[in-house]
């Protein structure tokens, strides 16, 4: 009996020391919540054409320039398409919220509490120079990106508490408790680079010398800032894997850079460019006439099933004039979306009314019981509308000057101590005039601001637009040196640790984050923690909808517009799969016929 008890005690100690390793099973995929869609024996993703022929050249356009072939640093601008040169430990599917499949790592072990993950590297995985990919390369890549990578990557990777090489092709990552549930997937998306490259003293410098990758394409030719040519790597180690069937079908992909988008459009029409995603409503409405058979090109509008980006005017609440919720509500009332959509956007857009628009994560309708339970402890810092009303943005008659909205805006401004004196809005106590500077680096935004300025002037608010170059804009945005900007936040179907970078109190006080409004709420920090620790899909959805509700009712931004479609023009010899993924379509899914 004594020997049996001793054996059980030793077994328990061993289990604890192994960090719950005994409870993990080797697996081909990991889903953020629930089970993976595709079994270990799957042959290809459901949104590809597995019979797509290989060959041909795809000519695409890009705007601007590039000066670095290192896409992993904040320094320099890397070229379009360079992501196809590199591969990550695991590979993401695009028809489920967040699931990763075996890639460079042919299998994984994951602790049941997500406190660690072990990657078993495919012994056949190779860099483009033929060098074997080992655990040493994975560790070196992790350390380099943690120390030198982009700020958001650094913040994620610093949640790794311990790394351990267990063998030539096996490596273990252990995570801090905070936000750990998502961390195995975040590390799974890490690009793997050769140790000899990332330990080089020049890695942290922007350079036009290519870094060897392990992906399906190689960099064949570079004309700095003007053109980059990628060649399909016939020796790519992963062609046999199911996630590469029907993908990366072009023998060459060429990106030509243009300084002006109008010139890029003409290059497409003259057939020097094969396909083009359109971002301008005016051009999509007027510049692609397919009624004439002589034009030859085709238009496609694949449906998107992911959250639409929140494009919005952003209040900097660090500025005293925007610190009062009623002021932000008043200025929201002054923006006439219906007029802008009809007269500038050709009626092609819908009004964005959620930070997770076009998805089940959006907080539509009144608050649910589960959301109320999360938010009730924070009633003192939240407006009553969070608990009592479904959120809706004000609507107008589309005249450009909605009298009822402007009257209500004046009432709100009056409640906060402002009055109009000789046509100028001033604060009664401080006598300060209310002025706004819109900081922009995109001339297209000026069209949106101009009608807004007319209504602001009716309220006695003087405003100016300052257009600056990209570098100056980024510097001022990084240091929150602005009154109002237009910004876009992208979201996924599985929000996680990035929400802290967007909305947390720490982010509000840290230069270089995306908390441009300066949101500083304990309730938001709590909801971010609930999102990052959610172990079920229902818990994630509830916390995300509650966060959406808090952000919307705080009027930190004036939401603009979205479309649930991609706008793609292409010549007929460029073929697309019939069924788009949640993300629509992309060049890696097309083929030449």
What are 456-479's pLDDT values in tens digits? Answer: 999 999 999 999 988 899 899 999
Task: Lowest mean pLDDT of 7-21, 379-393, 415-429, name the range.
Answer: 7-21
Question: What's the CATH fold of domain 16-37+46-266?
Answer: D-Maltodextrin-Binding Protein; domain 2 (3.40.190)
Measured CA to CA, the distance from residue 204 to residue 330 in angstroms comes to 46
Average pLDDT over residues 121-126: 98
| Mean per-residue pLDDT, 38-48 | 97
Three-state secondary structure call for residue 75: coil
Region 207-221: mean pLDDT is: 95
Q: Could you tell me the pLDDT band of residue 8, with boundaries at 50, 70 and 90?
A: very low
Domain parsing of the chain, residue ranges: 16-37+46-266, 310-562
Report phi then psi at 377, rounded to 5. -65, -10
Mean pLDDT of 473-487: 96
What SS3 state is found at 448?
helix
**How confident is the model over 337-383, as pLDDT tens digits?**
999 999 999 999 999 999 999 999 999 999 999 999 999 999 999 99
Q: What are phi and psi of 99, to 5 degrees?
A: -135, 135
- Residue 583: pLDDT over 90: yes
How much of the chain is in helix, strand and coil states, percent to nearest 5?
A: 30, 20, 45
Q: What is the pLDDT of residue 5?
A: 43
> Residue 31's pLDDT is what?
96
Q: Which CATH class for the 310-562 domain?
A: alpha beta
3-state secondary structure of 457: helix
Residue 90 has pLDDT above 60, yes or no: yes
Q: What percent of the chain has pLDDT over 70?
A: 95
What element of type H or E holds 506?
A: helix 505-508
User: Average pLDDT, whole number, for the chain?
Assistant: 93
- Which structure tokens are listed for 393? 């943005």
| Listed range (25-29, 112-116, 404-408) with the worst mean pLDDT | 25-29
Residue 492: CB partners within 8 Å, gap ≥ 6? Answer: 97, 98, 306, 307
Q: What whole-number distance in Å separates Cα of residue 286 and Cα of residue 164?
A: 58
- Size of the chain in residues: 593
Among the listed residues 287, 295, 244, the one whose alpha carbon sits nearest the alpha carbon of residue 263? 287
pLDDT in tens, 144-170: 999 999 888 998 999 999 999 999 999
* Mean of pLDDT values over 325-334: 98
Q: What is the pLDDT of residue 75?
A: 83
The separation between CA 235 and the C-alpha centre of its own chain, rounded to angstroms, equals: 32
Mean pLDDT computed over 566-581: 96
First to last CA, the chain: 75
How many angstroms separate the Cα of 267 from the Cα of each of 250, 282, 569?
A: 20, 18, 12
Number of other CB atoms surrounding residue 43 within 10 Å: 9
What span, in angstroms and rounded, lies between the C-alpha atoms of 360 and 585? 21
The pTM (predicted TM-score) of the whole model is 0.86
What is the predicted pLDDT for the residue at 319? Answer: 97
CA pseudo-torsion sign 192, 196, 199, 202: negative
Q: Say whether 310-562 and 16-37+46-266 share the same fold.
A: no
Query: Which one-letter DSSP state was computed for residue 211?
Result: P
Could you tell me where the DSSP H helices lie in 401-463? 403-415, 444-458
Asked if the model's pLDDT at residue 291 lies above 90, the reply is no
């Amino acid at each position: 009996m004594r020997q049996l008890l001793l054996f059980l005690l030793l077994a328990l100690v061993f289990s604890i020391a192994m960090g719950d390793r005994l409870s993990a099973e080797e697996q081909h995929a990991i889903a953020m919540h629930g089970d993976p869609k595709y079994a270990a024996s799957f042959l290809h993703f459901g949104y590809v054409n597995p019979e797509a022929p290989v060959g041909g050249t795809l000519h695409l356009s890009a705007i601007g320039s590039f000066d670095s072939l290192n896409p992993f640093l904040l320094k320099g601008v890397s070229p379009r398409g360079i992501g196809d040169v590199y591969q990550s430990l695991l590979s993401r599917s695009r028809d489920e919220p967040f699931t990763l499949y075996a890639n460079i790592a042919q299998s994984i072990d994951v602790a049941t509490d997500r406190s660690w993950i072990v990657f078993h590297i495919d012994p056949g995985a190779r860099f483009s120079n033929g060098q074997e990919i080992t655990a040493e390369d994975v560790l070196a890549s992790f350390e380099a990106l943690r120390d030198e990578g982009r700020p958001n990557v650094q913040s994620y990777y610093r949640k790794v508490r311990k790394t351990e090489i267990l063998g030539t092709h096996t490596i273990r990552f252990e995570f801090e408790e905070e936000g750990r549930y998502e961390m195995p997937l975040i590390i799974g998306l890490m690009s793997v680079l050769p140790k000899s490259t990332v330990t080089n003293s020049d890695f942290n410098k922007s350079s036009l010398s290519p870094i060897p990758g392990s992906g399906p394409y190689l960099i064949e030719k570079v004309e700095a800032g003007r053109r980059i040519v990628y060649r399909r790597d016939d020796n790519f180690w992963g062609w046999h894997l199911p996630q590469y069937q029907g993908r990366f079908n072009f023998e060459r992909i060429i990106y030509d850079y243009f300084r002006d988008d109008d010139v890029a459009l003409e290059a497409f029409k003259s057939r020097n460019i094969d396909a083009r995603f359109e971002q301008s409503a005016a051009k999509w409405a007027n510049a692609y006439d397919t009624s004439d058979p002589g034009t030859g090109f085709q238009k496609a509008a694949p449906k998107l099933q992911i959250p639409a980006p929140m494009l919005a005017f952003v209040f900097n609440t660090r500025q005293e004039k925007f610190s009062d919720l009623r002021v932000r509500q008043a200025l929201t009332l002054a923006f006439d979306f219906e007029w802008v959509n009809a007269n500038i956007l050709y009626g092609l857009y819908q009004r964005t009314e959620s930070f997770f628009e076009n998805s089940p994560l959006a907080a539509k309708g009144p608050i649910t019981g589960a959301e109320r339970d999360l938010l009730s402890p924070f009633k003192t810092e939240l407006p009553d509308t969070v608990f009592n009303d479904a959120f809706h943005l004000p609507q107008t008659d589309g005249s450009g000057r909605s009298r009822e909205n402007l009257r209500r805006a004046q009432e709100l401004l009056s409640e906060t101590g402002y009055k109009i004196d000789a046509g100028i809005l001033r604060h009664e106590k401080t006598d300060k005039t209310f002025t706004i500077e819109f900081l922009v680096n995109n001339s297209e935004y000026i069209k949106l601001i101009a009608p807004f300025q007319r209504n602001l002037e009716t309220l006695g608010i003087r405003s100016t637009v300052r257009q600056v170059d990209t570098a100056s804009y980024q510097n001022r945005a990084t240091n929150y040196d602005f009154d109002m900007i237009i910004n876009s936040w992208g979201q996924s179907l599985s929000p996680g640790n990035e929400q802290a970078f967007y909305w947390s109190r720490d982010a509000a006080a840290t230069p270089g984050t995306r908390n441009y409004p300066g949101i500083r709420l304990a309730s938001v920090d709590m909801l971010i923690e609930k999102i990052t620790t959610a172990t079920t899909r229902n818990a994630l959805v509830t916390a995300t909808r509650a966060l959406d509700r808090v952000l919307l009712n705080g009027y930190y931004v004036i939401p603009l517009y979205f479309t649930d479609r991609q706008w793609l023009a292409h010549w007929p010899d460029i073929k697309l799969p019939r069924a788009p993924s949640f993300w629509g379509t992309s060049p890696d899914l097309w083929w030449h016929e």
